[in-house]
Amino acid sequence: MEVRLKEKYNKEIVGSLSEKLGRKNAMSLPKVVKIVVNCGVGKFKEDKSYVENTIRDLGLITGQKPLAKKDFKGVSRKAFDGSGNYTIGLKEHSIFPEINPNNMDKIRSLEVTIVTTAKTDSECFELLSGFGMPFMKEKEKE
């Protein structure tokens, strides 16, 4: 986790989560463990240039070598897995500013999973809300 997110967690989110979840021990509060970005190559796995370009693009997006849209209303509240983790599916990797559309050979879909220590979806929701995750309002149609 980047230093500024860790500082935000320690300075702002811990207090808020303690109050909302009714816990005094900060060690019992949910934390983000890791963020996983997946991109399937599927039927293109034999196409060496496609695989290399996918690796390049994921490296640009994540800042690591891999082994917005108009009228955005927020991310779904239904993407929790029941175990305190959250997954976002993206239809195009080109939404990231690190990707130059002129260098794209094909559009790739991505899946981003935020793995936390939360034990329930509601704990994960509170944690990610504290970080500013833009969830849809409850009355919005998903």
Residues 125 and 85: their CA atoms lie apart, in Å, by: 9
Residues 57 and 49: their CA atoms lie apart, in Å, by: 12
Q: What percent of the chain has pLDDT over 90?
A: 38
Number of domains in the chain: 1
Q: Using one digit for the tens of pLDDT, what is the confidence trace for 55-114?
A: 888 888 888 877 633 385 788 999 999 999 999 988 888 888 888 888 888 888 888 999
Q: What is the pLDDT of residue 72?
A: 59
Residues 5 and 3: their CA atoms lie apart, in Å, by: 5
Q: Is residue 97 a part of any domain in this protein?
A: yes
Contact (CB, 8 A) for 49 and 73: no
The predicted model scores a pTM of 0.59
Amino acid in the structure at residue 118: A
Q: Is residue 138 a part of any domain in this protein?
A: no
CATH code at 85? 3.30.1440.10
Q: Is residue 139 a part of any domain in this protein?
A: no
Mean pLDDT computed over 9-29 = 92
- The label of the residue with tokens 């260098």 reads 103
Task: For residue 53, give its domain range.
Answer: 3-130
User: 93: closest CA among 46, 41, 44?
Assistant: 41
Q: Is residue 126 a part of any domain in this protein?
A: yes
Helix (H, G, I), strand (E, B) or coil at 113: strand
Q: Is residue 120 a part of any domain in this protein?
A: yes
Q: Using one digit for the tens of pLDDT, what is the confidence trace for 29-43?
A: 999 988 888 777 777
Contact (CB, 8 A) for 103 and 21: no
Amino acid in the structure at residue 106: K
